[in-house]
Structure 1
Amino acid sequence: MLPAFVPPGSRFVTKFKFPYKPLSLLALVAVAAALVLTRPEPPPAAGEPPPLRVQVVRVDQVDVAPVETVTGRLQAARRSQLRFEVGGRVVAREVEPGMQVDAGQVLLRLDDGDFRTAVVEAEAQLSQEQTQLTRDRRLLALARDNAALQRAEVQRLESLSSRSLGSASQLDAARGRLLQLESELAQLQAGVDSAEARLALRRAALERAERDLARSVLQAPFAGMVNAVMLEPGDYVAPGGEAAVLIDPAQLDFYVELRGEVARALERGQTVVVSVDGRPLEGRILALQEQPDETTFTHAVRVRLDGGQAAPGQVATAAFPLRRREAALLIPVTAVLRDEGRSYVFRVRDGRLERIRVELGLRLEARYIVTAGLAAGQLIVARDVAALSDGQSVEIIGATDR
């Protein structure tokens, strides 16, 4: 309760009683202390994040002799897909897959009845043509003699007629007879002249029939191994139908397709090491495609091997030596960042990152040859580069030369 109004200059003394008890005061103090103790920590002051710890590698400059290693399968150097050139019904299957055969050995037979008939018919037609030619030649000789006699008769009658000793009708009849004989002579001469062409046609027909008869038997074109037989007795095969596969495993080919840079470093006759089941075998480049394939842009390469130590179908690995590089700059594959078709690395300088664009050449297993953008001795981040950014502060935790 407030005191009553006191005029100025008067003295007024009164007691003011505190309305709260000591217990309430203690409670207020406790609450204040609890608020102070449980208040949240103030946010840290804004500033640069701590440096990122990275592992770096030093750019090497060394002489390298790169090798391109490729894997493929061995195949028989000589492989023939045998087909029947004539159609017919199979009557005999003489071989089975895996059998060794000699050159000329019979593999399959067709029913040859029609082919034999065709040969007999062609022989008869040729014989008939030869007999007719012999007859025409004899008739031609006789016609020449008759024509010569008739000319002499015409000349005699003309001589008599000029002296009025002969009949004009006899002369005209003689001349008519001469014309008839000369016409027959011309026909026989034409028949004899064309006889050689007719004989050639008959001989060609006979040879064709004989070839068809021979083609009814499928023979091995070379000594080798039967790899497959597609026909059984009773099957009908059309001309050109697949019949068997014959291989010669004495020599093997390692066939691969290489990119242009590798192919340009090779040449025909060059020695190449081909590994089969861990065993190195020496081979030579037999064929090298000069112009790349229009679809794959690769060059086909065939390496010839001795088949004595390997077999067709085995997996093999070949090492193709490439052009030697002098003072090449090498960086690990893990140090390269790909972005929109370009290549970058992060160089470390004065504790910060610099994103550097580089041009990459040949890849040698886990390293690239750098053709532009870096210099020997520079430090770059060795790995985990996807999350890095240009200008970032870093701390080097380790360095490696490889």
Structure 2
Amino acid sequence: MTDKSELLRQLRIDREDRPAHTAPSRRWWWLAGLLVLLIAIAAGLFFGLHAAVPAVQAVVARPVATGAGPESGTSILDASGYVVARRQATVSAKITGKLDQLFIEEGVHVKEGDIVAKLDDRNATAALLQAKAAVTQAEGTLAQAMSAAADIAPIYERDRKMAAAGVISTTALEQSKANYDEKQTDVTVEQGNLAVRRAALEVAQRDLDDTIVRAPFTGVVTSKNAQPGEIVSPLSAGGGFTRSGICTLVDMDSLEVEVDVSENFISRVQAGEDATLKLNAYPDWAIPAYVIAVVPTADRSKATVKVRVGFKSRDPRILPEMGARVSFLSRPQKGANGAASAGSVTLPLNAVQASDGAAMGVVYVLHDDTVERREVKLGVRSADAQTVIAGLSAGERVAVGDFTKLSDGAHVKVVDR
């Protein structure tokens, strides 16, 4: 029995006989695990918070280059069109005839009244000679009638006195008076005949004059439509081989530009305001211009309104039918001292939040690591830039990024491009 008890005592595990370092080692493992967990939570919070801050890029608002004069404005709208002449004419003869001589070529400058061409005048000259002969004949006939009337006047006067004295009968006096009246009527008839002949002479003279074609105004010949030997007519008489015009004449002082402006932007254009245009042939040449008029009708097929733009100065390089691009300028804003303020700036398209055709837009101005939501007034929009004409100053930094993640006062992270 004693042996069994001793054997059981030997097999029992005595907890008090554990090594002294066992309990502290387990506690250190618990502390290490807790520390690792805290570090993981802190890292998650740190990266989570930083991941929630939107990343943006910064762009600088750059001033718009304006003209040298104080009246210069900034472009608020661009439109394309063509140079047209308000005064041009197809010069033709007033009568039908064969073109005999031509005195012009394309590009020739002519003055009002200069001879452009001559028609074959042989028939007109013959008609004029015939009319002159008829006038001469009528003048002779009138002279003869007047002479006869003058001869019979004293005879009638004598017969009237003799009848009063009872020398001749009343019947003889009546016959003398009839002869006298007949001669006076002959004079009246011949005077009318002479007037008709003289009118016919005037017509024949005009027909001869009409064989000479003159320039109706000062201008430049832009096209020559007929050659000597061809039949020309103002009414295209004689079929398809008859020319209705001899040349086209353009008054270069009447050149202007016609552009089509979208209905969405027509409210920005007003008559009398300044503009700048560039010809496609001379893209680096800025030509001062002004708005002549906004044509008061719209083209519903294109949803546009036609605008007439005039040149402030003339230049021989400006030719009809040239393509042109017009920049309509805003009125310069006046500062406190009365001087014009050049407040317009340009930004990339992705820096402005705006719908197509809108006059106002939204930008987010950077202040260190926060943004300010600001409404701005928009100007012209090009293929890669947007002009801001009010609400933003040159040099201010604007955020470019996901606008859905930006709000007024939001924190952002500025990254390099």
TM-score (norm 1): 0.57
1:184 Cα shift?
2.2
Provide the rounded CA distance (Å) in 1 between the counterparts of 2:219 and 2:394.
60
Unaligned runs of 5+ in 1: 1-43, 158-165
Aligned residues of 1:71 and 1:315 also touching (Cα < 8 A) = yes
Letter of the 1:324 counterpart: P
Q: Which residue of 2 aligns with 1:255?
A: 256
* CA RMSD, 1 decimal: 5.6
1:215 aligns with 2:210: yes
Q: 1:342 to 1:253 in 2, by over 3 A?
A: closer
Letter of the 2:389 counterpart: I
Provide the rounded CA distance (Å) in 2 between the counterparts of 1:90 and 1:388.
79
1:83 aligns with 2:92: yes
1:131 Cα shift?
1.8
**Partner of residue 338 from structure 1, selected from 342, 352, 355:** 355
Q: 1:385 to 1:97 in 2, by over 3 A?
A: same
1:122 aligns with 2:117: no
Q: 1:368 to 1:326 in 2, by over 3 A?
A: same
Q: Which residue of 2 aligns with 1:368?
A: 388
Q: Which residue of 2 aligns with 1:187?
A: 185
Give deviations 1:182-210, integer Å, cap 9, x for gaps.
Answer: 53255246436xx2x65444334323323
| Number of aligned residue pairs | 329
Provide the rounded CA distance (Å) in 2 between the counterparts of 1:199 and 1:398.
103
Provide the rounded CA distance (Å) in 2 between the counterparts of 1:119 and 1:156.
56
**Partner of residue 246 from structure 2, selected from 229, 243, 259:** 243
1:132 Cα shift?
2.3
Aligned residues of 2:359 and 2:378 also touching (Cα < 8 A) = no
Aligned residues of 1:288 and 1:302 also touching (Cα < 8 A) = no
Give deviations 1:240-279, integer Å, cap 9, x for gaps.
Answer: 621134679xx87763347884752459xxxx99998589
Provide the rounded CA distance (Å) in 2 between the counterparts of 1:217 and 1:380.
72
Aligned residues of 1:77 and 1:253 also touching (Cα < 8 A) = yes
**Partner of residue 66 from structure 1, selected from 69, 73, 76:** 73
1:387 Cα shift?
5.8
Provide the rounded CA distance (Å) in 1 between the counterparts of 2:396 and 2:109.
64
Aligned residues of 2:138 and 2:194 also touching (Cα < 8 A) = yes
1:203 aligns with 2:198: yes
The within-5 A match list for 1:252-401 is 255-257=256-258, 261=269, 263-265=271-273, 289=292, 292=295, 294-295=297-298, 296-305=305-314, 307=316, 310=317, 312=319, 323-327=331-335, 330=344, 332=346, 334=349, 335-338=352-355, 341=358, 343-347=360-364, 359-360=377-378, 366-370=386-390, 374=391, 381=398, 383=400, 395=412, 397=414
Q: 1:155 to 1:56 in 2, by over 3 A?
A: farther
Give deviations 1:150-179, integer Å, cap 9, x for gaps.
Answer: 22122212xxxxxxxx7xxx5331442254
Q: 1:114 to 1:340 in 2, by over 3 A?
A: closer
1:337 Cα shift?
0.5
Letter of the 1:191 counterpart: V
Aligned residues of 1:92 and 1:233 also touching (Cα < 8 A) = yes
Letter of the 2:126 counterpart: T
Q: 1:379 to 1:300 in 2, by over 3 A?
A: closer
1:111 aligns with 2:112: no
**Partner of residue 171 from structure 2, selected from 167, 170, 173:** 173
**Partner of residue 142 from structure 2, selected from 112, 129, 133:** 133
Q: Secondary structure at the match of 2:94?
A: coil
